[in-house]
Structure 1
Amino acid sequence: MKVFYDHTAFIPPFGGVAKYHVEVMKRLPPHMYVLSAIGSGNQYLRESGLGHCTLPRHLRGSKYWMTPITAAMMRVAQYDIYHPTTYDAHLQWLPKGKKVVVTVHDLNMVTVPQYYRDVNRVWPSLADQKKVTQRADHIIAVSENTKGDLINYWNIPEEKITTIYHGIGPALKNLSPERVFPFDYILYVGHRNAYKNFNNCLRAFKSINNIHKMLNLVCTGVRFQKNELAQISKLKLENRVFAVSATEEQMARLYRDALLFVYPSYYEGFGMPILEAMQYHCPVVLSDASCFPEIAQDAAYYFDPHNEGKMAEVMLDVIDNVSLRNTLIQKGDIRIRNFSWGESANGHMAVYKSLL
C-alpha cells in the first residue's frame, strides 16, 4: 500500500495544514508514501527532514514548478491512494482506479460565510472543497464538530467519515532559558483572517492595556498588513503589539513564557495551538464557539467571541488570578494526554487500509 501526498499545502512557509501532514508522514513507514513537494521552502517540512530545498529563499515554494512536478509524479508514480494536502486537488491527473482520501479541517466558508468577503477567492475555493469532498472515497474529519457539519450541511453519509484528532508530539527538550521577549505578553498564534476575530482581540487587549500598561500582545506568523497596522495605530498600541516569525524552538519558548494563550476565532475545525499551549504549561483562553469546548473541555477559560468586553474580562481574570492560572495549567497537562500524533497516524493507516 502506498499513498500519494501532493505539494499544495507546502507552498506557504507556515500553516497548520502543512504541519498536520508533516506530523502524520513522520510516523508512517517511509516506503508507504510518495510526496511531490519538491522545491518547497515550508518550515515544517524542512525542519522535519522530510523535505530538503537548496533553492534560493525567494524561489522556494513556487507553484509554477511544483505543480508540473506533481502532475508528472501523479501519472507515473506507484501508489494506491491519493490524499491531497489541500482542496486544490489535482484530480484531472489521477489515473483510473486510484482511491481518494481527503481531510476536512473545517467548513468555515459554509458555517460562517460572512467572514469571507472576497467572492472571487472564496467561492472557487469552496467549490474546490465541495468537489474533492464529494469525490473522495473516504473523508477524515479533524473533530466531531467538523464531522457534524459535513453531515448537516452537505449530507455526507456518516459511514463515509472518520474523525481523527490531531496529536501533539513530545515537548522540545533543553530549551534555552532565555526569553524570546523580555517583557510580559499575551500570545496570539496563527493567521489573522476575518474569521480569526483578530480585530476584537485587539480591542480587548486595548482594554487590558489600559490597566496593565506594560503588558504586550505577541502575534506569531506573517508580519502585519497595512489595515492591521492602521488598527493598531488607531488604538495607540504601536509599541505594545508585535508580530514575529518563529521557529518551532522559539514557539516553544513563546508558549512557555506567555501569561496566557488566546484563541478568539468565530469558528475553527480543531485548533492545534491549543494543544501546543497546554504542552508548554501556558494557560489557555478560548472562544466558546465551534470545536473549542470539544477539544479543550474544562482545561480552558471561555468567552463569547462577539463580546470584546467579555474577552478582555476573561483574559484579565487569568492574568490577575495566580490560582486560576495554575488550575488551567494543571488541567491542560491532563487534557493533552488524550492527543497523540502516533494515534493519529494509526488512524490514517486504518482508513487507508479499509479502502484496499
Structure 2
Amino acid sequence: MRVLFDHQILDAQAHGGVSRYFHQLISNLEGRDLATVQLPPAYTDNTCFRPLLAELGLQRDGVRSRLMQGLRKTGLPRKEIERVWRRTKRRHNRQASIEKLKQQDFDLFHPTYYDPYFLDHLEGKPFVLTIYDMIHEMFPGYFKPDDKTSEHKALLAMEAAGIIAISSCTKADILRYIDVDPEKIEVIHLASPLTGESEEIAVPGRYILHVGERCRYKNFRALLAAFAGLAATFPDLHLVCASPKRFDRSELDLIQRLGLADRCVSLSVNDAQLTFLYRHAALLIFPSLYEGFGLPVLEAFACDCPVVLSDTSCLPEIAGDAALYFDPADVASIEGTLSFLLSNSTLRQALIHRGRERLQRFSWATTAERTAAVYKKCLTDGSRYGKPDAVAAGGRAAGP
C-alpha cells in the first residue's frame, strides 16, 4: 500500500502539533511496515521534517535556500525576508507535490492540510483527510474575512474517501458544521511525541508552565490575570511560556500593567529542553477555550508533570481523571484551581500517578495501525474522489 503525503504542513509550520502528528505517523507507518510512504522533495524550516527529508534525500537546500539564509543575516526587515521566503517555498513545494501526484505512483493520498489544489490531479485515486479541529468554524471572528480554511475543509470533507478526527469532540464538531456521513469519520487519538531525552536550561526556581501558542482562543490573557491574583500568595512563583514566539508588544504591556514583569519568562526550546521544563514545573496550565486534541497534556503526563486544564472541548476526553479542571471563562476559577494544586503536594503526586496511567492509552503505534486500517478500508471499499457520499455543506448543519 503506497501512501503519498504532501508539502502543506511543511510550509505552514516550523514547529507545531500538526507537523508532529504527521512526522510520527509517517515514521510509524514506515517503521512498522504498514505502508510505503512517499513524500515530495521540499524546502522547509520545519524542525520535525528536516532530518527526515535529509535522510530520504528529499530536503531541498539549493540556491534559494542558501540565499534566504544569507538574507536573514543582512539588515533587511526580517518580516519582509520571511514573507518572501514563505512565498517562495510554498510555490516550489506545491509544484513538487503536483509532480508527485501526476506520476500516479501511489495508491492513496493523504494531504497534510486543507488546500484543495490536488483535486484536479488525483485521477480517480482516493484520499483521506485528517481534520484537527473546527476552530475556524467556531471562532470565525478570530480570523481574517478572506480566510478560506472553513470553505476548503468542507469541500475536502465531502470529497474524501475517509476522514480522520483526532478526538471524539472533533468528530462531533465536524458533524455540527459539515453535513457528512458520520460513518465516514474515524476517531484516532494521537500520542506524546517526546522521546524522554532531556537538556537542562536556566529556569526560575519555581514555576508553572504554559506550552504553545498564545493567540486569542488560547485564552492567555485570562491566564495572566489569574496568575496576577496568585502573585502575593506565592511570591516565589513564576510563569514560564515555551513557544517559538516571544511575548509580543500587547502581551508585554499587559504583563507590565499587572506588575508581572519579573515573574514571566518566554523561552524558545527544542524537545529535549521542553522535556526538562515539564519535569521541573510545578504544573502545566492549559487555559485554551478550544482544542482539537491537546498534545501538551500527554507530553506533561510523559514527564510526570501535573496538569490543570480548561473543562472545554476535547480536554476532558484526553486527560480524564488525571487533571484538575477550571472554567476558562472565569478568571477566579483559573486562579482558585491553580492555588489549590500549588498548595496540595499529596494531590500533585496523585495526579502524576494518574497521568502515567492515562498515558498508557495513547501510542503512536496504535495511531499508525488504525490509520493504516482506514487507508485499507478506503481502498477495499472502492471509495474514490468525487463519489457522492455526502451532500453539499450547508454552513451550520444540524448535528447528531
Measured against the shorter chain, the TM-score band is over 0.9
Deviation, 1:241, is 1.5
Closer, same or farther in 2 for the Cα pair 1:37/1:190, shift >3 Å?
Answer: farther
The root-mean-square deviation of aligned C-alpha atoms, in Å, is 2.0
> Match of 2:232, as an amino acid?
N
- Matched with 2:217 is 195
> Match of 2:319, as an amino acid?
A
Deviation, 1:298, is 0.2
Q: How does 1:192-341 map to 2 (within 5 A)?
A: 192-221=214-243, 222-341=245-364
Which protein shows a greater Rg? 2
* Percentage of identical aligned residues: 34
* 1:67 lines up with 2:97 in the alignment: no
The CA deviation string for residues 111-168 of structure 1, in whole angstroms up to 9 with x for no partner, is 3435x153233xx121111111121111001011111122233222111010000023
**SS of match in other structure, 1:102:** strand
* 1:119 lines up with 2:145 in the alignment: yes
Q: Is the 8 A contact 1:260 1:282 kept in 2?
A: yes
- Matched with 2:205 is 183
> Match of 2:357, as an amino acid?
I
Distance in 1, matches of 2:37 and 2:195, equals 26
**SS of match in other structure, 1:242:** strand
Ranges in structure 2 where 5+ consecutive residues have no aligned partner: 73-81, 380-400
Distance in 1, matches of 2:284 and 2:359, equals 15
Q: Is the 8 A contact 1:6 1:36 kept in 2?
A: yes
Aligned length: 351
Decide which moves more: 253-262 or 222-231. Answer: 222-231
Distance in 1, matches of 2:41 and 2:170, equals 27
Q: 1:32 aligns with which of 10, 26, 36?
A: 36
Distance in 2, matches of 1:171 and 1:92, equals 37
Q: Is the 8 A contact 2:136 2:143 kept in 1?
A: no
- Matched with 1:8 is 8
Deviation, 1:196, is 0.8
Q: 1:149 aligns with which of 145, 161, 173?
A: 173
Q: Is the 8 A contact 1:180 1:253 kept in 2?
A: no
Closer, same or farther in 2 for the Cα pair 1:180/1:93, shift >3 Å?
Answer: farther
Give the TM-score, by structure 1 length: 0.92
**SS of match in other structure, 1:202:** helix
Ranges in structure 1 where 5+ consecutive residues have no aligned partner: none
Q: 2:48 aligns with which of 34, 44, 51?
A: 44
Distance in 2, matches of 1:276 and 1:152, equals 29
- Matched with 2:383 is none
Structure number with the bigger relative contact order (C-alpha 8 A, sep ≥ 6) is 2
